[in-house]
């Protein structure tokens, strides 16, 4: 069995291995494959029966040109890069990794929040540059410092990752308002309750986005919804960039309506130089790394291998195009 990994570098930049896949078949791994030149992907796949992709597109023309494909594994949760309908027509199962980074992403959400509250990176750099040594007082701070105890975090999307974030927020003394189409009453307590979106917007000191990108959630953070928020709200997003209308958030940050934003995702990735958020005040942007601790990537790798082995055994799992 020939296996091709089209873009394996982000999953495994060298600190993991491909032994699990190599045990199943002849495995060829490419660090990157063109996102725009479909022919490059077609040439690399050749007569392979198994293809893994992370962000390299697999449109219908690719499936037409590579008739030997029997299985596609997406090395991520989202699978929009694959024409799953075209694969289904040809009887090709497409699998994804439904959950692997729950703890990592919840942790990163809080890391963004704590950086906004304390500006730890800035103050550490200031100390190394001599600002403390030359300070007239025994301490100093260059930004307002924020205590989270007693404040309210609104979480839009209260699935596994939203709940992970909520647990940490409650451990910090925060109250949680959760907005989700599905309510699990077992999760409600004195410090956590479900609420309608407008209530979340109006009563939260911090708003964290953990919802999928659907037509009804695209642009959910827009000027109209921002107007419903508290003055000085903090917005966090390490879910999907298009959940935010970036021009509207830029304007709200620059006006002070939104005090700060912590973002691990943007509308187009890698970020473009003309992204409006690059002109926003108090906007912390990281390069889509919430998912990327080694432990999380190892879990992803193990699930990808398990998905392939289940297919080989005749009982595929995590199939998104049944």
What residues are annotated to the active site?
A: 240, 269, 288
**Rounded-to-integer distance, Cα 34 and Cα 165, Å:** 35
The answer to whether 304 and 22 are in contact (CB under 8 A) is no
Reported residue count of the chain is 322
Nearest to 78 by CA among 97, 104, 106: 97
Torsion of CA 240, 242, 247, 250, to 10 degrees: -10
Q: Note the Cα 48 to chain centre separation in Å.
A: 30
Phi, psi at residue 4, to the nearest 5°?
A: -125, 130
Neighbours of 261 (CB within 10 A): 26
Strand order across the beta sheet in which 50-53 lies? 26-29, 2-5, 50-53, 71-74, 94-95
**Rounded-to-integer distance, Cα 19 and Cα 32, Å:** 19
Furthest-apart CA atoms within the chain: distance in Å: 73
139 to each of 119, 126, 131, 142, 195, how far by Cα in Å?
15, 12, 10, 11, 41
**Rounded-to-integer distance, Cα 53 and Cα 51, Å:** 7
Phi, psi at residue 98, to the nearest 5°?
A: -65, -30
**Rounded-to-integer distance, Cα 120 and Cα 203, Å:** 27
β-pair type (258-263, 233-237): parallel
**Rounded-to-integer distance, Cα 164 and Cα 169, Å:** 9
């Amino acid at each position: 069995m020939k296996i091709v990994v089209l873009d394996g570098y982000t999953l495994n930049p060298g600190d993991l291995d491909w032994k699990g896949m190599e045990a199943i078949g002849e495995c060829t791994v490419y660090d990157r494959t063109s996102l725009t030149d479909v022919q490059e992907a077609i040439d690399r796949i050749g007569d392979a029966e198994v293809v893994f992709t992370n962000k390299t597109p697999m449109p219908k023309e690719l499936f037409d040109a590579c008739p030997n494909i029997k299985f596609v594994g997406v090395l991520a949760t989202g699978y929009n890069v694959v024409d799953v309908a075209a694969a289904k027509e040809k009887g090709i199962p497409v699998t994804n990794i439904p959950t692997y980074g729950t703890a990592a992403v919840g942790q990163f959400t809080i890391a963004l929040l704590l950086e906004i509250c304390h500006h730890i990176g800035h103050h550490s750099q200031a100390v190394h540059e001599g600002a403390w040594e030359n300070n007239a007082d025994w301490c100093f701070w260059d930004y307002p410092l924020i205590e989270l105890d007693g404040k309210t975090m609104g979480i839009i999307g209260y699935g596994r990752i939203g709940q992970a974030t909520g647990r940490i927020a409650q451990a910090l003394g925060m109250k949680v308002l959760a907005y989700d189409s599905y309510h699990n009453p077992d999760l409600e307590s004195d410090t956590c309750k479900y609420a309608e979106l407008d209530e979340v917007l109006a009563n939260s000191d911090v708003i964290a986005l953990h919802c999928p990108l659907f037509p009804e959630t695209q642009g959910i953070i827009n000027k109209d919804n921002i107007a419903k928020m508290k003055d000085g709200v903090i917005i966090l997003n390490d879910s999907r960039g298009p959940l935010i209308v970036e021009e509207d958030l830029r304007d709200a940050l620059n006006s002070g309506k939104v005090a700060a934003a912590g973002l691990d995702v943007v509308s187009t990735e890698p970020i473009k130089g003309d992204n409006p958020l690059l002109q926003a005040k108090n906007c912390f942007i990281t390069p889509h790394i919430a998912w990327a601790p080694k432990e999380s990537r190892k879990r992803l790798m193990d699930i990808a291998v398990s998905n392939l082995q289940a297919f080989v055994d005749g009982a595929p799992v995590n199939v998104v195009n049944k």
